[in-house]
């Protein structure tokens, strides 16, 4: 069932502020090409504007505000990712780019581009002539993600526990404490973001950006809700999850490899 233009809680684009991501309307094709009869173009527009080379171009002042299409797409992508985490984009439901664009106050194009990125990430699938369906996930997929994350990250964590000095771990404590505050708020989307920031900072100490990117993609996938309800974890679950970050930092600082391995595996198994 295609969704109507309903508000999404916590999407990052609050109600009444949709104009913050609005892209100004572009001139119609007929207006862009209008010019004197037989001229084939607009005589008032320099050739360079039409993509032609000229030898007497006049420098124009830099505009005060430049609308960057990529930034609009990025804001929409962030909002849609938040809606996935909170369950406002429900598993199994189909959403069209025009309807979502109306909700966000933008054209369908940046929404469609953001949805195509989510399709590449495995969050949605394309439904021809209708829109995008949110992927339905089950407990088996979550368990598989936890296993893959452990295979990648446990060896890295153990190596970091042996090589990273204690003061470097102390620098990450504010990030761990931020996850506790986010968990206490009970907002799943806020916690999901702070959780990713902490894990990215820890893995970033290994110096392998490719590994960090792969791990973050797996991490994001593990945060999407399971089918059967928009949100599967309550505030108490988030608080317990965040507390494991502090315990992990203590084990890493002490170089306790057994505790590090046990905490990381348990943390991944309880994620989602």
* pLDDT tens-digit series, residues 176-215: 999 999 999 988 889 999 999 999 999 999 999 999 999 9
Query: Where does 18-134 sit in CATH, by number?
Result: 1.10.10.10
Distance (Å, whole) CA 231 – CA 140: 17
Distance (Å, whole) CA 157 – CA 203: 8
- Residue 126's beta-bridge partner residues? 132
Of all helices (H) and strands (E), which one includes residue 133?
strand 131-134
Where are the chain's structural domains? 18-134, 139-270
Give pLDDT, residue 69.
54
pLDDT confidence tier of residue 66, bands split at 50, 70 and 90: very low
Q: What is the token pair recorded at 128?
A: 């021809």
Distance (Å, whole) CA 271 – CA 235: 13
**Angle, in degrees to the nearest 10, between helices 139-163 and 209-222:** 140
**183 neighbors 235 (Cβ within 8 angstroms):** yes
Q: Poorest-confidence range of 102-111, 196-205, 219-228, 255-264? A: 219-228
User: Hey, how many other C-beta atoms are within 10 angstroms of the C-beta on 86?
Assistant: 20
* pLDDT tens-digit series, residues 156-167: 999 999 999 999
Average pLDDT value over all residues in the chain? 79
Give pLDDT, residue 56.
52
Write out the CATH class of domain 139-270.
mainly alpha
Q: What is the token pair recorded at 57?
A: 């171009």
The structure's pTM equals 0.68
């Amino acid at each position: 069932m295609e969704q109507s233009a309903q508000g999404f809680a916590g999407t990052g684009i609050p109600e009444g502020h949709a104009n913050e991501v609005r892209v100004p309307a572009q001139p119609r094709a007929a207006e862009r090409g209008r010019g004197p009869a037989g001229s084939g173009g607009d005589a008032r527009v320099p050739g360079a504007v039409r993509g032609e080379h000229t030898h007497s171009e006049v420098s124009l002042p830099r505009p005060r505000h430049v609308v960057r299409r990529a930034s609009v797409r990025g804001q929409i992508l962030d909002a849609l990712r938040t809606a996935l985490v909170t369950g406002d984009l429900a598993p199994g439901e189909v959403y069209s780019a025009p309807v979502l664009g109306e909700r966000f106050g933008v054209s369908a194009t940046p929404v469609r581009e953001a949805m195509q990125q989510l399709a590449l990430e495995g969050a949605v699938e394309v439904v021809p002539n209708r829109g995008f369906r949110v992927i339905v996930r089950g407990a088996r997929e979550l368990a598989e993600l936890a296993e893959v994350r452990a295979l990648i990250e446990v060896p890295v964590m153990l190596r970091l526990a042996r090589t990273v000095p204690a003061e470097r771990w102390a620098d990450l404590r504010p990030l761990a404490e931020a996850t506790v505050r986010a968990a206490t708020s009970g907002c799943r989307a806020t916690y999901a973001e702070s959780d990713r920031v902490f894990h990215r900072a820890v893995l970033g100490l290994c110096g392998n950006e490719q590994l960090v990117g792969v791990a973050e993609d797996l991490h994001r996938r593990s945060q999407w809700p399971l089918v059967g309800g928009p949100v599967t974890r309550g505030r108490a679950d988030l608080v317990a999850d965040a507390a494991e970050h502090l315990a992990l930092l203590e084990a890493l600082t002490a170089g306790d490899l057994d505790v590090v391995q046990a905490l990381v595996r348990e943390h991944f198994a309880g994620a989602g």
